[in-house]
């Protein structure tokens, strides 16, 4: 079980993260405005929005983050599903044992054993891990469909 309150306090809402990332890259916003959401899958997600929270680990330098974090923001907008971001992840180039530099990366990268980003973890409102998506949704699935598969197993 994870402490949802603690995770919320160390993260930021997905729309705030996208807004703050504009100064570093415009790729997040290009994807946000250029993506067409699967509304059927979004309707399914909306049925579970009050029962789950999504946390994602992201960085402005990460191409898979460019593709997926804006879609999570669109899902949040369409469904009300809470999506929170641990952003600005940095690699630890000086270490042979640690993947992420903490700080500036948030300490939660170690708590949740983040190996690759974006790391998208779906938790119940009580803090139980329901599922995860690492880097990208499974082949042939949209992010919306992959989240729906976690929420409706």
The tens digit of pLDDT for each residue in 94-112 reads 888 888 888 888 999 999 9
pLDDT at res. 23? 66
Please state, in angstroms and rounded to a whole number, the distance separating the CA atoms of residues 53 and 25.
26
**To which residue do tokens 């997040």 refer?**
28
Strand duo 82-86 + 129-134: pairing: unpaired
CB 9 within 8 A of CB 50: no
- Residue 113 buriedness (CB in 10 A; 0-12 / 13-18 / 19+): exposed
**H or E element: which one contains 52?**
strand 52-57
| pLDDT, tens digit (0-9, with 9 covering 90-100), for 9-44 | 999 999 999 988 876 788 889 999 999 999 999 999
Which of these, 51, 72, 53, lies nearest to 118 by C-alpha position?
72
- Please determine, for residue 7, whether its predicted confidence score (pLDDT) is greater than 90: yes
* Tokens found for residue 149: 């598969």
3-state secondary structure of 57: strand
Please state, in angstroms and rounded to a whole number, the distance separating the CA atoms of residues 109 and 76.
23
pLDDT more than 70, % of the chain: 99
CB 119 within 8 A of CB 86: no
pTM, two decimals, is 0.93
3-state secondary structure of 132: strand
């Amino acid at each position: 079980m994870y402490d949802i309150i603690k995770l919320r306090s160390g993260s930021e809402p997905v729309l705030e993260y996208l807004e703050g990332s504009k100064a570093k890259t415009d790729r997040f916003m290009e994807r946000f405005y250029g993506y067409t959401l699967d509304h059927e899958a979004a309707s399914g997600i909306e049925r579970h929005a009050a029962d789950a929270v999504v946390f994602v680990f992201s960085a402005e330098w990460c191409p898979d983050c460019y593709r997926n974090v804006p879609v999570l923001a669109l899902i949040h907008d369409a469904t009300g599903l809470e999506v929170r971001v641990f952003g600005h992840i940095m690699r630890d180039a000086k270490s042979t044992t640690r993947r992420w530099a903490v700080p500036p990366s948030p300490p939660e990268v170690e708590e949740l054993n983040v190996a690759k980003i974006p790391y998208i973890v779906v938790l119940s409102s009580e803090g139980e891990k329901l599922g995860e998506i690492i880097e990208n949704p499974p082949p042939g699935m949209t992010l919306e469909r992959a989240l729906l598969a976690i929420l409706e197993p």
